[in-house]
């Protein structure tokens, strides 16, 4: 009996090993994330952290997703309570209830960007996939991707069953993260109405380029932009003040790397932006000072600079 029990124990142990989920390669994981992005539905709450000049800012958003469509909303009393966000057809529509304006921009981040990032990293063997810690009580695969030229690390936790990104961050060092998100709770069985992905029919549509032109007029400068090349896209804009200088800020991405353009009236003053591990290119043109900052080489930034125009 002892021998038989021992044998059964060994067999059970082997069975457990055979049933254990193996760690996929980066290429396999990328393909599964791409498929999940077209089929998986859920309701979730996630915490977002954004780094700014004034330090990290954290807030929560409620997420409804059905395949490649997503709806984001915010609780009353929070800074973003006036906004509702719809991601449909590869674009992000931000609706502001108070003025009935609907701003459209390319989608940044999310499953599609993660898929592209993983697929590209797999080609360069610049990615490590292991079993990760649980996120929102869900088992995960943990992915580390070294960014180009060693300027930081992407850290991604992916649901082992549904292949949804549950947590993501970008770190410039082993201890310093500059932003990301984490799912706090998620329900894959939630019933989601298709009406959730439709914004008000009478909303006024505004593009990011429209906002650049409006802000440039307010600042009495030309609306200098990088033309849309089909790959590098303008996804957000705003204005800021540094050392008394009013600045028009623009944010671009090609889905993998990011680029910021700052435009202001011409100045000889030194402008410092707390962005580590990136190249900076500065030049004057038409009575304005322009600064490009991004995860690109100096030669690449100069090439972008040659394309900037009103």
pLDDT of residue 268: 87
Per cent of the chain over pLDDT 70 is: 83
Could you read off the pLDDT of 193-240 as tens digits, one per residue? 999 999 999 999 999 999 999 999 999 999 999 998 777 889 889 999
C-alpha 158 chain-centroid distance: 15
Does the reported pTM lie above 0.85? no
279-285 and 101-106 strand pairing: unpaired
pLDDT of residue 190: 96
Could you read off the pLDDT of 49-63 as tens digits, one per residue? 887 666 678 899 999
Across the beta sheet with 245-253, the strand order is 233-242, 245-253, 258-265, 288-294, 279-285
pLDDT of residue 113: 66
Could you read off the pLDDT of 120-139 as tens digits, one per residue? 777 777 789 999 999 999 99
For residue 261, is it left (φ>0), alpha (ψ between -120 and 50) or beta? beta
pLDDT of residue 5: 41
DSSP 153-190: EEEEEEETTT--EEEEEEESSSS-EEEEEEEEEEETT-
- Which domains does the chain show, CATH number per domain? 26-197 (2.50.20.10), 208-307 (3.30.200.100)
The answer on pLDDT for 260 being more than 50 is: yes
Mean pLDDT rounded to a whole number for the chain: 85
Regarding predicted confidence, which is higher, 112 or 190?
190
Stretch 273-298: mean pLDDT, rounded?
Answer: 85
pLDDT of residue 20: 57
Could you read off the pLDDT of 176-199 as tens digits, one per residue? 667 789 999 999 999 999 999 999
- How would residue 4 be classed by pLDDT, with cut points 50, 70 and 90? very low
Calpha distance 214→86 (Å, rounded): 23
The answer on pLDDT for 10 being more than 50 is: no
pLDDT of residue 126: 79
pLDDT of residue 180: 87
Angle at 182 between CA 180 and CA 185, to 5 degrees: 160
């Amino acid at each position: 009996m002892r021998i038989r029990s021992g044998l059964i124990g060994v067999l059970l142990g082997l069975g457990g090993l055979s049933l254990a989920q193996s760690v996929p390669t980066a290429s396999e994981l990328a393909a599964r994330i791409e498929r999940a992005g077209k089929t998986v539905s859920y309701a979730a709450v996630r915490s977002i952290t954004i780094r700014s000049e004034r330090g990290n800012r954290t807030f929560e958003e409620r997420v409804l997703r059905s395949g490649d469509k997503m709806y984001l909303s915010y609780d009353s009393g929070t800074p973003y309570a006036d906004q509702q966000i719809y991601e449909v057809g590869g674009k992000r529509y931000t609706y502001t209830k108070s003025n009935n304006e609907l701003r459209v921009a390319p989608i940044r981040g999310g499953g599609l960007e993660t898929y592209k990032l993983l697929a590209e990293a797999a080609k360069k063997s610049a990615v490590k996939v292991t079993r990760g810690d649980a996120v929102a009580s869900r088992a995960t695969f943990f992915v580390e991707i070294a960014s180009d030229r060693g300027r930081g690390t992407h850290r991604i936790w992916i649901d082992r069953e549904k292949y949804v990104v549950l947590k993501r961050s970008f770190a410039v060092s082993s201890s310093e993260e500059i932003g990301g998100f984490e799912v706090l709770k998620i329900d894959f069985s939630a019933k989601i109405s298709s009406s959730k992905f439709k914004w008000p029919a009478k909303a006024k549509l505004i593009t990011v380029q429209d906002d650049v032109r409006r802000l440039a007029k307010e600042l009495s400068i030309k609306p200098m932009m990088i033309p849309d090349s089909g790959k590098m896209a303008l996804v957000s804009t705003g204005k800021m003040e540094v050392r008394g200088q009013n600045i028009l800020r623009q944010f671009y991405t090609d889905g993998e790397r990011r680029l910021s353009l700052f435009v202001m009236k011409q100045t000889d003053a030194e402008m410092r932006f707390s962005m580590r591990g990136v190249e900076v290119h500065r030049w004057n043109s038409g009575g304005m000072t322009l600064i490009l900052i991004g995860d690109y080489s100096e030669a690449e930034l100069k090439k972008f600079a040659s394309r900037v125009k009103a």
